[in-house]
Amino acid sequence: MSSNKKNSRWSRYDPRSKLWIKGKLIYLYWFRFLQHAESNPTKEVDWKRYPYWGGADVVCNMKFEEWWRPRWKRLFGYKDPKNPDPMFSPTYPHKIDAIRYALRFYELEQSGISDKWELAKEFAKEEHPRRREYARKQGVEYGETEAEEWVFNVARAGVIKSLNQYPEYLSDQKRLVQSRVGRILKRADVMLDNVCEGRFP
């Protein structure tokens, strides 16, 4: 979609179609949760809630960009930015990371990692370089002080090593992280139930 001065952080305007769209990222996450719900034997997607999405075969066998291009206008585009009225109109969450965390932890669990501490360690291994790169692109110095500010930093290998000299503190932090992971996985399960009914998140 083309850029436009009317664009905001959460909305985009496409001058060729003269349509608005809410932040695209939320639809990517919706799409991926829908794929997971369809492949989960304990869930049942009501595909009648998804007219024009293409059905299970299309959604589960296409990459998001390929699926998105011919469909976004009909499914999600709207003309009046003050009165959005697409077929589905999710409110773009202020805490998009909460959805991203739920999706990624669910995917990691589905890959075969069942222990909550091991899940946190794997997530931290992925997330730390992502945060460093984001800071670099923003021109912000990203040192250890900043690294300490995100909740799963304590699960990084280097931090665990440094905290081994404080076993009681590390044990407390480990329990807190495991509890957080449990809550995130529960949130992911709620989102899976929601998409089965045509709602997100």
Beta bridge partners of 145: none
On whether both 103 and 156 belong to a single domain, the answer is yes
Tally: H helices and E strands in the chain: 9, 2
Asked if residue 139 belongs to a domain, the reply is yes
Mean pLDDT of the chain: 87
Say if residue 4's pLDDT is above 50.
Answer: no
pLDDT band at 21 (very low <50, low <70, confident <90, very high): confident
pTM of the model: 0.85
Q: Looking at the domain assignment, is residue 25 inside a domain? A: yes
- What is the number of domains present in the chain? 2
pLDDT tier for residue 193 given thresholds of 50, 70 and 90: very high
The least confident of 12-16, 33-37, 100-104, 106-110 is 12-16
In whole angstroms, give the CA distance from residue 49 to residue 82: 25
Segments forming the whole domain that contains residue 73:
11-90
